[in-house]
Structure 1
Amino acid sequence: MSRIEEYVQAATRDNTRRSYASAIEHFEVGWGGMLPATADRVAHYLADYADSLSLNTLKQRLAAIGRWHVEQGFVDPTKAILVKRTLKGIAELHPHREKQAAPLQLAQLEALDGYWKAQLELGTATPSETLRILRNRALILLGFWRAFRSDELCRLEAQHIEFDTDTGMTLHLVQSKSDRSHGGTTYRCPALSRLCPVAACRAWLNASGIKKGPLFRGVDRWGNFNKTGMHPNSIVPLLRKELAEAGIEASRYSSHSLRRGFASWANSNDWDIKSLMEYVGWKDVKSALRYVDTADPFMKRQMEAGLRKTESEDA
């Protein structure tokens, strides 16, 4: 690979490359399309999957097809009026409600922590099982209290963590989805009286002896660590496995449950939206509100308060 090819590849995230490659394979192999494609064939592709794929998935497939054409020097058929009108018609006739991961509630986090402590106190876990418990506890508590994405958790490195005994820890993430300037992002995580992510991370680092490289890694049955960090796709099965073993129905949860859980907890504890956005790193209100579940979804409390105010004024 030449230096230019290396830089071009680095400009696109690994997840994006895999997603686009999968979309192109689906168009060519799964559907039988040919590249380069005409606008008519792309429109037919959309129509054939309008019933079975979500609108967001179809948009992602279009983005991949369009990018392939541009990179290969062909006219992008996805920009044609026919394709745009087909997609708009699909949105009108097949309205799709976006699925969101259930937020992990504080009570469930408490139950998880109780399960981890019980396993450690029993003393029956093997050394490798103990390491996995400490790792999973640090990963989930940190993921919740810092509202990290899966890829952010997997990109954290031990040498970029600084502990302050009294206040918490500072984490520097060299690269993340929201870091458009590629200058890295520094996060601060407080030490808490319970469910403490700082104590959990310190315990994991002390037990593992990791001083440099990925913070969260795979652990084999002999207690050996992978040299590379965990893959973002491994976080969902890990979280669901831990929840299930703690006696919590796990199928509703994904890695976004940590982020949504913290956002909902902060909202219910009267964080203003500006403070929440600054803490998590959201750049616009729309992104933040997608993750927030209000404690009073039917707005009953506000309505009843208004009714009482009206009643007192009438009296």
Structure 2
Amino acid sequence: MGTLDEDERSTMTDIERYVRAATRDNTRRSYQAAIDHFETQWGGFLPATAEGVARYLADHAEQHAVSTLRQRLAALSQWHISQGFPDPTKAPLVRQVLRGIRTLHPTPPKQAAPLLLQHLQTAVQCFEDEARQARECHDLTTLRRARRDTALLLLGFWRGFRGDELARLRVEHIQAEAGVGITLFLPRSKGDREALGVQHRTPALKALCPVSAYLQWIEVAGIAHGPVFRKLDRWGNLSDTPLNSNSLVGLLRRMLERAGVPAALYTGHSLRRGFATWATANGWELKSLMSYVGWKDAKSALRYIDSAQRFGELAVLPASQVHNLIP
């Protein structure tokens, strides 16, 4: 049996690298966890049969939501296709079992609470107070933490970013001008099916401004390239690597708790939902909201919008302060 020469091995390495780059890190991790659950924890065999997959679904119908089971099926489907095997998850038996589970075990979709504008204002004011006191005491650690957390909250809210998008922002892909606006380029995004990259723009605001918050953070952090949002240790040292998107939920809650904001219901999607709900309460049309955030279909947008009545007066920021945000 022949062996691969050096050029062939190099080509295979390149192919594997590009194939890996085509899948988001979070998706790759969740798919691997799903395969491990099927094979190791449940004791399934790969390649699987339609009957085996159907039994797996039935055994977990009462423990897991349908959305979780769909994610497990997607992982199994991807594994079989990538290995060159027939996909058992598309068999009529599997589809019927999943439909039956959805009928007998209906579960309302879990959604993150939208970050209320009042809570955003409270947190930002707290961080501004921390920054002012830190400057007076020459406390670089506290100053950096306050500036980072302010920028993360305001960019995440006004741009409607998910946690993984905030984690992937890089300084070299951002252009910001005080009093004017900020342009942010994401080479990869969940809605960017062609992997062409997406460019986002946000103007400077008179209040709760994401542009000034970003510039103040970059200045005090002293970074000119690499990840925008990074881990800070207790001594104020910055990591070279970005924040892990999976750790952003805990970080967001700690930030809000530090400001005295009830944070238990908030997750990494709360910034996105908060902006969508605020925009709806302030008269944005659905088409404008979809264009600004980057949703391709109305169903995706509507899942993020709470009724304006629930948001109430807490959603309103004077129009004179944010009129130029509306597309």
TM-score computed with the length of structure 1 as normaliser? 0.90
How far is the alpha carbon of 1:212 from its aligned partner? 0.9
How far is the alpha carbon of 1:172 from its aligned partner? 1.8
Matched-pair contact (CA < 8 Å) for 2:231–2:239: yes
Matched, 1:91 2:102: yes
Task: Find the counterpart in structure 1 of residue 154 from structure 2.
Answer: 141
C-alpha separation in 2, matches of 1:214 and 1:144: 19
Task: Find the counterpart in structure 1 of residue 15 from structure 2.
Answer: 4
| Match among 34, 57, 74 for residue 23 of structure 1 | 34
TM-score computed with the length of structure 2 as normaliser? 0.87
C-alpha separation in 2, matches of 1:190 and 1:67: 41
Matched-pair contact (CA < 8 Å) for 1:149–1:259: yes
Aligned-partner residue type, residue 148 of structure 1: F
Q: Give ranges in structure 1 of 5+ residues lacking alignment.
A: 298-315
| Match among 211, 226, 242 for residue 229 of structure 1 | 242
C-alpha separation in 2, matches of 1:139 and 1:125: 23
Matched-pair contact (CA < 8 Å) for 2:231–2:243: yes
The 5 Å alignment of 1:183-262 reads 183-262=196-275
Aligned-partner residue type, residue 271 of structure 1: W
Q: Give ranges in structure 2 of 5+ residues lacking alignment.
A: 1-11, 311-327
How far is the alpha carbon of 1:160 from its aligned partner? 2.0
Matched-pair contact (CA < 8 Å) for 2:168–2:186: yes
Matched-pair contact (CA < 8 Å) for 1:144–1:261: yes
Q: How many residues align?
A: 297
How far is the alpha carbon of 1:237 from its aligned partner? 0.6
Helix, strand or coil at the partner of 2:183: strand
Task: Find the counterpart in structure 1 of residue 25 from structure 2.
Answer: 14
CA RMSD of aligned residues (A): 1.5
Task: Find the counterpart in structure 2 of residue 54 from structure 1.
Answer: 65
How far is the alpha carbon of 1:108 from its aligned partner? 0.4
Task: Find the counterpart in structure 2 of residue 312 from structure 1.
Answer: none
C-alpha separation in 1, matches of 2:111 and 2:61: 21
Aligned-partner residue type, residue 2 of structure 1: T
Aligned-partner residue type, residue 218 of structure 2: L
Please give the per-residue CA displacement for 1:226-268, whole angstroms capped at 9, x wherever unaligned: 2121111121111100111212221100011000000000000
Matched-pair contact (CA < 8 Å) for 2:178–2:212: no
Aligned-partner residue type, residue 50 of structure 2: A
Q: 1:101 to 1:31 in 2, by over 3 A?
A: same
Helix, strand or coil at the partner of 1:218: strand
Matched, 1:37 2:48: yes
